[in-house]
């Protein structure tokens, strides 16, 4: 049972759903007369992207990009790799990048500059979790679900070495699990 590896639950399924609904309402207001391109960043943002899209009461186009910088470690390599690119063109679009977590900020810094180079009209960032203490580059999200303490979290899309993504809540693992 993967539940046995958990030290504590930080955000329950209900808290995640409630906050996602609130963010969806905010985005609905802010993008009322636009048709934004929602770009979920795989793999971590899979669940948040689909839940957030369902909480938005306007037409959105959904796309995904797969980038990775962590490999099988808890520490970012600092080098962002594109594993899968967008299907849609970013040119002239109002892009909303959807992330599960911002830590060092390197993934988002890379993506924001990439979409601007590709001619996006606007680029905004929404992240479920923000870990400000982890920041090494100057990046701020426009919409944040929760501020998280400086601990390595898993669940609701977030992995440790590709495990624990399918937990329905966000949690901290028992210390021995990170070894
Ligand atoms: C994680 C997370 C964010 C990024 C945040 O992804 O999902 O995308 O790292 O860290 P940063 O702010 O330090 O760049 P990861 O590279 O582990 O890939 P994954 O989403 O496929 O797990
Ligand atoms: Mn990710
Ligand atoms: Mg990862």
Q: What is the mean pLDDT of the chain?
A: 94
Ligand 2: distance of its center to the CA of 44 in Å?
A: 4
Counting ligands in written order, the one closest to the CA of 70 is 1
Domains of the chain, residue spans: 8-68+78-152
Distance 108 CA to ligand 1 centre (A): 9
pLDDT score for 75: 64
Q: What was the pLDDT predicted at 68?
A: 81
Q: Which of 46, 131, 52, 36 is nearest to 93 (CA)?
A: 36
Which strand ranges, in their side-by-side order, compose the sheet holding 94-102?
81-84, 61-68, 37-42, 94-102, 122-130, 143-147
CATH architecture of 8-68+78-152: 3-Layer(aba) Sandwich (3.40)
Model confidence band, residue 69 (pLDDT cutoffs 50, 70, 90): confident
pLDDT band for position 72 (cuts 50, 70, 90): low
Query: Distance from the CA of 118 to the center of ligand 1, in angstroms?
Result: 22
Mean pLDDT on 146-150: 95
Give mean pLDDT, residues 132-155: 96
Sheet holding 170-173, edge to edge: 6-11, 170-173, 153-154
Cis before 67? omega within 30: no
Here the ipTM equals 0.96
pLDDT of residue 62: 98
> Tokens 């890379």 correspond to what residue?
110
Contacts of 93 (CB under 8 A, 6+ apart): 36, 37, 120, 121
Residues 6+ apart with CB under 8 A from 62: 38, 40, 49, 50, 53
Whether residue 19 is predicted with pLDDT greater than 90 in this model: the reply is yes
* Binding pocket residue ranges, ligand 1, CB within 6 Å: 41-44, 68-70, 76, 99-107, 159
- Of the candidates 103, 130, 138, 142, the residue annotated as catalytic is 103
Query: Which numbered ligand comes closest to the C-alpha of 43?
Result: 1
**Is pLDDT above 80 for 22?**
yes
Question: Judging by beta carbons within 10 Å of its beta carbon (0-12, 13-18, 19+), is residue 173 exposed, middle or buried?
Answer: buried
Contact 101, 130 (CB under 8 A): yes
β-strands 6-11, 37-42: how paired? unpaired
pLDDT of residue 78: 67
Whose CA is closest to atom 17 on ligand 1? Answer: 70
Residue 162 pLDDT grade (very low, low, confident, very high; cuts 50, 70, 90): very high
Q: What is the pLDDT of residue 52?
A: 98
Closest C-alpha residue for ligand 1 atom 18: 68
103 is catalytic: yes
């Amino acid at each position: 049972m993967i539940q046995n590896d958990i030290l504590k639950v930080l955000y329950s399924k209900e808290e995640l759903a409630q906050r996602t609904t609130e963010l969806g309402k905010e985005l609905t207001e802010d993008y009322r007369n636009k048709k934004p391109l929602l770009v979920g960043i795989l793999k971590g943002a899979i669940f948040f992207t689909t839940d957030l899209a369902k909480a938005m009461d306007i037409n959105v186009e959904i796309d995904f990009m797969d980038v990775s910088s962590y490999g099988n470690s808890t520490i970012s390599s600092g080098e962002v790799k594109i594993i899968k690119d967008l299907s849609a063109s970013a040119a002239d679009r109002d892009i909303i990048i959807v992330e599960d977590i911002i830590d060092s900020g390197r993934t988002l810094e890379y993506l924001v500059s990439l979409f601007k180079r590709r001619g996006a009209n606007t680029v905004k960032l929404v992240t479920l979790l923000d870990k400000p203490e982890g920041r090494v580059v100057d990046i701020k999200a426009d919409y944040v679900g929760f501020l998280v303490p400086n601990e390595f979290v898993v669940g609701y899309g977030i992995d440790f070495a590709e495990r624990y993504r399918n937990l329905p809540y966000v949690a901290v693992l028992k210390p021995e699990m990170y070894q």
